[in-house]
C-alpha cells in the first residue's frame, strides 16, 4: 500500500492549466489521446535536473515514435524555464507550477532533508499516463542514472 494520494490506476488530474515554456498554457486534458510522460523535477539548471532533462531531450525521437509526449514540471518561473530550455536545447514543454497546484495533485511535494534541515520540496518523480488519461506507472524518488531508458522500456511494454 502506497502512502501517496495518487497512484497507478488513478485518473491523472487533467484540468489544472498552467503556463509553460514555450509560451502558452497547458493542461493534461489537451494531450488526451496520446501517451504522456510527465516528469517532476526540483529545479532548473541544477546538475541532476539538467542530466535528466537532457536524457529526455535525447530520447524524444524514441518517445515520439511511441506516440508519447514528454512534459517536464517544476516550481520555476516561465522565464527560468526559457533560460533552461534555450541553454539545454530542450525539445518539449516545461510547465511552470509556482503555486504547486500540479505538484500537489500528483503528491510530489514531500519532506526532504538538506544539511540536516527538513523542508518541503519536489520529489523527483515520473508518471506514464495512457491515452485515456489514467496513470499506468509511477516512479518516486527517482535516481537519474538509467531512468529515461527505464521509462521508455516501460512505456513500450505498457503499449504491448
Q: Which residues are catalytic?
A: 49
Q: How much helix, strand and coil, in percent to the nearest 5, is found in the chain?
A: 30, 30, 40
CA distance 84 to 46: 10
Report how far residue 132's alpha carbon sits from residue 134's, in angstroms, rounded to the nearest whole number: 6
- Provide the residue count of the chain: 160
Q: Could you give the residue ranges of the DSSP H alpha helices within the chain?
A: 47-65, 78-88, 101-105, 147-158
CB neighbours of residue 139 within 10 Å: 16
Amino acid at each position: 500500500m502506497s502512502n501517496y494520494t495518487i497512484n497507478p490506476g488513478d485518473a491523472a488530474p487533467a484540468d489544472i492549466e498552467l503556463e509553460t515554456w514555450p509560451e502558452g498554457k497547458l493542461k493534461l486534458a489537451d494531450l488526451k489521446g496520446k501517451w504522456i510522460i510527465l516528469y517532476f523535477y526540483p529545479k532548473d539548471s541544477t546538475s541532476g535536473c539538467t542530466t535528466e532533462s537532457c536524457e529526455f531531450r535525447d530520447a524524444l525521437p524514441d518517445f515520439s515514435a511511441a506516440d508519447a509526449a514528454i512534459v517536464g514540471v517544476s516550481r520555476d518561473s516561465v522565464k527560468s524555464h526559457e533560460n533552461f530550455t534555450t541553454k539545454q536545447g530542450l525539445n518539449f514543454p516545461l510547465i511552470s507550477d509556482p503555486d504547486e497546484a500540479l505538484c500537489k495533485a500528483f503528491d510530489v511535494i514531500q519532506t526532504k532533508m538538506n544539511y540536516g534541515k527538513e523542508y518541503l520540496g519536489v520529489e523527483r518523480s515520473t508518471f506514464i499516463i495512457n491515452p485515456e488519461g489514467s496513470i499506468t506507472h509511477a516512479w518516486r524518488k527517482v535516481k537519474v542514472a538509467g531512468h529515461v531508458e527505464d521509462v521508455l522500456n516501460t512505456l513500450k511494454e505498457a503499449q504491448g
